[in-house]
Structure 1
Amino acid sequence: MVPWEGYVSDETMGTFAPIALYWVYAGGYQLALHRRPLERYRLHTRAEEEEKNLVALPAVVRGVLLQQLVQAIVAMILFVVTSDSSAIVVQPPIIIQAFQFLVAMLVMDSWQYFVHRYMHQNKFLYRHIHSQHHRLIVPYAIGALYNHPLEGLLLDTVGGAISFLVSGMTPRTSVFFFCFAVLKTVDDHCGLWLPYNIFQSLFQNNTAYHDVHHQLQGSKYNYSQPFFSIWDRILGTHMPYNLVRRKEGGFEARPLRD
């Protein structure tokens, strides 16, 4: 039994819950980012954010909304094609769902690593598509899904669809998986190194790890997203970092060469 049962379908929740959660979670981070008591946890100063970023917040919001529109359309089509309205879907045991969760995480990581890396290595794709995401040299939460529409389709939407299909999870399980993936992605772009943050504590691929990728020294490294750093380590694109305190407050993720 889940809270939405009897009100909306699992397919509808799987389509729209991650979108709603994105704005709630990212919006909370965006408010926190500019609260003075949290200045000591920022990875970049306010001045750096204002000077280095090449796109204004309203344009970022519009770009994310466009990607989410495409994402919702593809999700609805996927659920219509793969679901049988006449059949009763039985949730597998929790251990099976946990295994499907892990498979989906590994599939999504694999897809995003190779597509992401190729978009950096192909000069045409980088210049005309992926560079849009790197206009945010200083990442922040609402910009987590700020991409060129084609990149959003290939990297996130298609990657999510493949993860869903390969893992064999039910639409109900996918609600939790895609919400978890959204939370992780937003957290990786939040720009804050917070104590007791479960994502930053449990995952080596976290906001500091991804911040390195947005810096000039790390732009050819740390392609892995959103969960693990496995492919970076296997294929030699992993760049470690030192997390050091700045004199004026906050932290800095300083890239290190292997």
Structure 2
Amino acid sequence: MDFGSFGISDELLGTVVPILVYWAYSGVYVLFGSSENYRLHSRKEENMKNLVSKQTVVKGVLLQQTIQAAVAIILFKVTGNDSEATKDSCPSLFDLGTQFFIAMLVLDTWQYFMHRFMHHNKFLYRHIHSQHHRLVVPYAFGALYNHPLEGLALDTVGGALSFLLSGMSPRASIFFFSFATVKTVDDHCGLWIPGNLFHIAFKNNTAYHDVHHQLYGSKYNFSQPFFVLWDRILGTYMPYSLEKRAGGGFEARPTNDCKRQ
């Protein structure tokens, strides 16, 4: 479908759709989270351990999404990748797959090194990245709850680089960033739902990132949102086992005891 015939540009869709996807997909997980059967942490543990209210989280996410939207609009204007220039072009599935794979690698590489640096630099962690870790027990719509500077440096700049270096069009970016958004929400949802395709296709999943949010895993499992490549290469990978929790749900427990110290 050519949305241009409805007066909706690819640039506008590429800016707005991932935001709508974020809240819609999060809402699905909020419903699943009402049952203890799928949770990696009990609701009681969530209320006890988390250091920020859900109202504050919503405000923080909306602020970050506003900044991301502004940067996206500027990026589309500067690059000149407008819908009129690309609407008649139809890249092959191979070309699209290549662009998506490159974008995934670029985004993963940027986020790994920036994320790791924010943990190892005491000033940046204390004043910036620690805001995200106020959610010791992550949940879906808290995925983008960050300090505004972290959101800009980690997510917005990382997304811009993946868009530019992959060479994708604004139309392709609608699908890529919507997919990346869904994956990020899934990683933070705090739920282990049987049959979840992300858990089957990616080792970097909800349980993997939950380990990172715990005190014993704060120096491990930095990779996000797709692969575990850099953690494997640079020795920051923490293996875990998934076990059933008393009272329902599951728990991700590290299997390498020496790294818990």
Q: TM-score normalized by structure 1?
A: 0.96
For structure 1, the residue ranges without an aligned partner over 5 or more in a row are none
- CA distance, structure 1, for counterparts of residue 83 and residue 37 of structure 2: 55
Q: In the TM superposition, what is the alpha-carbon distance from 1:85 to its structure 2 partner?
A: 4.9
Instruction: Give the aligned residue type for 2:32.
Output: A
1:179-198 equivalences under 5 Å are 179-198=178-197
Q: Distance in 1 between matches of 2:107 and 2:180?
A: 9
Match of 2:152 in 1: 153
| 1:43 to partner: Cα distance | 0.2
In the other structure, the counterpart of 1:56 is 53
User: Which residue in 1 is equivalent to 2:72?
Assistant: 75
SS in 2 for 1:88: helix
Q: Residue 62 of structure 1 aligns to which amino acid in structure 2?
A: K
The match for 2:120 is 121
Query: Which runs of structure 2 are paired with 1:1-258 in the superposition (5 Å)?
Result: 1=1, 4-7=3-6, 8-34=8-34, 38-83=35-80, 85=82, 88-89=85-86, 90-257=89-256
Deviations 1:121-169 (A, max 9, x none): 0000000000000000000001000000000000000000000000000
Q: Supply the AA of the counterpart residue of 2:72.
A: A
Query: Does the CA-based 8 Å contact 2:10-2:83 persist in structure 1?
Result: no
Per the TM alignment, residue 91 of structure 1 is displaced from its structure 2 partner at its CA by 2.8
Identity percentage of aligned residues: 65
Q: CA separation of 1:111/1:86 partners in 2, compared to 1, >3 Å: closer, same or farther?
A: closer
In 1, Cα distance between equivalents of 2:220 and 2:165: 27
Question: Deviation per CA, 1:161-201, whole angstroms, max 9, x where unpaired?
Answer: 00000000011001000000000000001111001111111
Mean Cα deviation higher: 90-99 or 162-171:
90-99
CA distance 1:100–1:59, shift in 2 (3 Å): same
Structure 1 segments of 4 or more deviating over 2 A? 84-88
Measured at CA, do residues 201 and 84 of structure 1 come closer, stay the same or move farther in structure 2, by a change above 3 Å? Answer: closer
Q: 1:45 to 1:84 in 2, by over 3 A?
A: closer
Structure 2 residue matching 1:205: 3-state secondary structure: coil
C-alpha distance in 2 between matches for 1:151 and 1:57: 19
- Cα distance change on mapping 1:64 and 1:84 into 2, 3 Å: closer
Whole-Å Cα distance in 1 between the matches of residues 81 and 225 of structure 2? 31
C-alpha distance in structure 2 between counterparts of 1:198 and 1:15, whole Å: 26
> In the superposition, relative to structure 1, how do residues 60 and 85 fare at CA in structure 2: closer, same or farther (>3 Å)?
closer
Which has the larger displacement, 177-186 or 241-250? 241-250
Instruction: In structure 2, list runs of 5 or more residues that go unmatched.
Output: none
Instruction: Give 1:147's aligned amino acid.
Output: N
Partner SS for 1:252: strand
Say if 1:205 and 1:225, in contact at 8 Å, map to a contact too: yes
Please report how far the alpha carbon of residue 31 of structure 1 lies from its aligned counterpart in structure 2 after TM superposition.
2.6
| TM-fit CA distance, 1:84 | 5.1
Q: Number of residue pairs matched?
A: 254
CA distance in 1: counterparts of 2:83 and 2:10, whole angstroms: 15
CA distance in 2, matches of 1:252, 1:84: 45
SS at match of 2:143: helix
Q: Is contact 1:209-1:222 (8 Å) kept?
A: yes
User: 3-state SS of the aligned residue for 1:145?
Assistant: coil
